[in-house]
Structure 1
Amino acid sequence: MSSSVNLEDFRIPLEELKRATNNFRRCGIFDNYSIGELSERWQNRTAFVKRYNKKEYESQELEIVSRLHHEDINSFIGCCDEDDNYIYMAYEYFAYTEDLDRALGPNSTVVYSWAARLEICISVAKALNYLHLGLGEHGRVIHGDVNCEHVLLNSGHDDDLDMQFKVCGFRYSKSVPINQPHQPHYCPEELFEKSHIDPIYKETSLLNTEADVYSFGVLMFVILHGSGSSGTMNENIHQMMNLVRGCYHDGPYKLIDPILLGDLSHRSLQIFTALAYKCISYDIEERPRMDEIIKTIEKALDIYYDEGGAFSDAPDDLLIPLEEIRKATGAEDFDRRISSKPHYRGKLVFRCNEHEAFFKHWTFEENDERNINGQIELIASFDHKNINPFIGYCTTDDGIIIASEYALNGSLYLKLETQSEKSYLTWAERLKISLGAAEGLKYFHAGFGEYKVIHGDFKSKNILLYDDLEAKICGFGKSFRVPRSHPDTNVYEEAQGSKYYMDPVYRETRIPRVESNVYSFGVVLFEVLTGILACNHPVEDERISMINWVRRLYNDETDKLVDYRIRDEIDARSLHTFKQLAYKSISFNMKDRPSMNQVIKRLEEALYIQTHGAASTIARKDQKLEDFRIPLKDINLAIGEKGQETRIGEGGFGVVYKGLVDSLVTVFNSKKGCTITVILCDLVGSHSRLK
């Protein structure tokens, strides 16, 4: 026990504990606890009393719990070490208490709604956040054993939302200095085989806050799935976690407790599971902090309440009154147009905070009413950082107005179209935009339950650019779902999409596949590389399309494909990686096209090379000999008039000198300060001249 804790402040006489607990009679609910009411000196509080063997008890528990004061942490009352063999720890007990393991079990008398389960997660997260923020000079606390058994619920209420939740179980907790490097804390043997313990901690013995985040992520899946995580249930959670990782790309629906079906919001569920997967990432840098976790789960809870707490084919909760849209756009006839088409912009003060909204009017003349409702349902289910946020919709006499977040930087199409000599996208910026768009498509292809989503009109116009050029996909009017198990069963009478970006295989077969999106993405990649839009004709007096022009230059003149504005900054290795990916994406053979996971990996590689490697810029084939001619006086300045001091060798071809390139700025502008070699070639006998 630490000497920094004054034991007398928390000492409870052994006789008092024996009296209160009827000589430590075991509790029926918790086999390893005794329960009893203490005397007036301790405010007649009812206590849990747990006994530990002194010889086996090596813990910072007393030092830690004596300093904890938080509404979501089970209150510590006191301890007793008078017994020769045991030490007793007393915590506050509140009526009808059970742990979460039993509460979610088959014998529980209470059915916990989705809202109640989110509230449990929020309470636990707030307790852990309190521990991780630190206790002043005493450092931060790592709980070390977050699981169902250590979440107590006051279940004596008919309403599951009127319960109290408390975190307990500090036997394996550690107090660590905030500003001190991680010190090894070996995982206790009794925890090593537990499935809720962070595998990185088991491997490295470095106990940090991210280990608690991992265990919390497991707890989130337990709460979603309804499986216990402690005691003999360890095998169950091991099987559950195998299911969790197997469902990463298939969607979360196999993980849902059947009791919750009919009581879930799709968007709330998506936010919750995406967060839980981040928490259990094997890369600890991807795991969020507890304060971020709290905000995200609170958002999921808000969405659950906003959407009425159930899956719905008709998202009426997202309905925006027409009068509100008229006020946002400034006039009854929507005079804040941003194009010749029925597109508008305005600010919905109570719906999208500081962001402006973008309004698009879908008419029943152009779209089937049933199809429009289906599209709204689909769009409302999206939740990803690289997808244009959906705000809501409004019904009109002739159609529906769709409201989404407005992008101040316009689209990728607009950026490429309006480039100039002085204002253009750098190569690194183009790679970043491409990577963001790829992440958005990957989200679609990962699927929603039994379906994958195919963007039916992917093109540069539907890639919006937000702050810091963050790319977000929009334009979902022609998107559709296809069955995951039988993706080739849907055949459409008419191919959807824009002709310059449309997969020729899809155009012929009318069967939508994710590979068709990859083809369209490949076309966009070549727009990014060339700076030429797919709808334009790159060769004067020829009606050849941009993508066919690309195919023509594939073998012999690929250097012509690079936008001249970025030619001097692009790393040749980054270009090679990007170009290979783009060509594979537009292959006529679908099997050659990469998956979006592979696309992202290659784009990340190209961006890393460009931003971290030494640039090896491209020499153009159309440069003439005159472009490389250097005046003799500049050579003499570099190597010296006679060159004797800078002479480094000779051979059958002539004499070699070295010199500094500082004076040769007319040719080597990007290589100033480098040391170069100069060869004085012996062309005819003793006759010498520079070449």
Structure 2
Amino acid sequence: MKLEHLKIPLGDIKLATNNFSDRYIIAVRDNYTLYRAELEHFDKENSDTMNKGGHSKRYDTVVIKRIHSEHDMCREEFLTEIKMLIIVKNRNILTLLGFCDECSEMILVTDNVSNGYLGKYLENMDAMRILTWEKRLKICIDVAHVLNYLHYEMEEQKVIIHCDISSHKIGLDENWRAKIADFGVSVLLPPNQKDEALYHSVTNGSMRHADPVYKMTGRLKRESDVYSFGTLLLELLCGKKACVPVYCNYCKESRNNLVHVATKCFFMGTLEEMIDPILKEETHENNFILNRGPNKDSLHTFITIANQCVAETQEQRPTMKVVVKELQKALLFQENNKDNPLISLEDIKLATQNFHVDNCIGRGGFGKVYKGNLQDGDGVRTIVAKRLDTRFGQGEQEFLTELQILLEYKHENIIGLVGYCDEKDEKVIVYEYAPKGSLDKLLNNTSLTWMKRLNICIEVASALDFLHAGLGKQAKVVHRDIKTANILLNNDWKAKLADFGLSVISPINQESDYIINSACGTPGYLDPLYKKSGFLTIESDIYSFGVVLFEIFCGRSTFEIWKHEGHYLARFIKNRFDEGKKDEVVFKQIREQIMPKSLTTFQEIAYQCLHYEREKRPTTKKVLAQLTKAWVFQVSITKATSVPLNELI
């Protein structure tokens, strides 16, 4: 393994820290000291750009980890951490920027965590006030994602057990995103280890967080990390470290063991008493109201999964995949409980006549869709309920993804969420009702004039631009299933983009602009480059939208084209354009309505969307601008004719 580009001279590090001056120290641990300083290091982001020295460099604020050389296992842990940080590729793991191995010094240089380490907050009640319940949940989810990645999602089926998860190993960047550190005692499982235990000498990790089974027997499994993570969950719930004495009025017990007391309280139903006082406001004895803290459903979900994580035996503990799902559910409950209350299963059954077959108006990949009349105050509201089919154990992640997007990404051209249900193994999302139904059934409807079609295109482009830009959010959304069947229409022909079950939420500042993912979507709309490579980008949505634009323009679906031509619409359009017959594809019932400049502008931008090379596809902003331009050209016809505008629209 070539590491020369990562070597940093000891002299540079001493100069940056003024010879390891105390004023640069940000934390002192048993085995190492952490410093924050400005230092030149290897530029990983621009690693392809070479300078005279052979590698691109940059000057930045970094964290310098100076390992105490008198520590017995220091060298082995130093080398292990370098190895692990080179293997792992995850945005929630600290990036190795360089190291120094000179004159008995062992130093690691990683990216900066400007908000410090989680452990310092748990040691300071005033500092903990910054960590609202929602922030704590997001930190937990970040860490859970990392552990799930280490356990199940690494390249070449590698598996790493961290072996030292604790609050002091979790850095917080400027956006409060968690970044995991300290892989010195981590273990890379042998190939094909699968779920068998590895008997391994107990490490020098955080003993308060260590799996008791592992401590007693040396039996190391993925579930050992799950236990440590469960301890962290309880620390964030209670606002104190695992080693601090805790007392429970109900248990009448005080011990230096948070897990022991919390577990006992859980089975007695009194764990709420131990919630961090910062998150609640006392009202009178044995009662409290939660202000910045968890609502009931969020709290219950969080406490339940935390207790499962610290189960006595390894076999009783959940996988990190399950933990991630439950924490995401807790966050959804917390973020949106007030605006989008849970709807009881009883009310949904009443609205849909117990999901009667006569009320079924559609079927998707993960369940059926029902129309219903939901009691809403003194009146009745027409709604649509999508019921997840849980018989095959699939679709839960899609349910959570769609719910998260509908709760967080609100836009006038995205279908509105009425509420949701998650009880008795039933998962249902309730939406606003769009009376005119889906656009795919109206493509050849003559009442859908050219102006109406342009308006629909502009509205969908506006929704896509909102999702792709992540406006006001830290993450963008790739819809991944743009098609006319997922565009719903109100009575006034207003478009609503729907069906976010396959969507992917991706951080705006993610290093790469693509997501490696198995190709999902609908044939005829699916980006061929995504299908071939598995690399998903926002341009994949642009391709699908290009197909939609031409369906609206032609008055025919991509499936109808395939049925008559033997290939989908994108190939059909390309062939017609190559033959110089691009004007012949327009829906004949609207052909006479379209002004030439409007026609040309629309055709050009729609055709660009279908380009095979992603780099040559337009952005949603450009698509929106050109569609608006086509609309303006069309409106101008009223100035040259006596045709009233309302007849065109």
TM norm structure 1: 0.43
Higher Cα Rg: structure 1 or 2? 1
TM norm structure 2: 0.45
**Structure number having the greater strand percentage:** 2
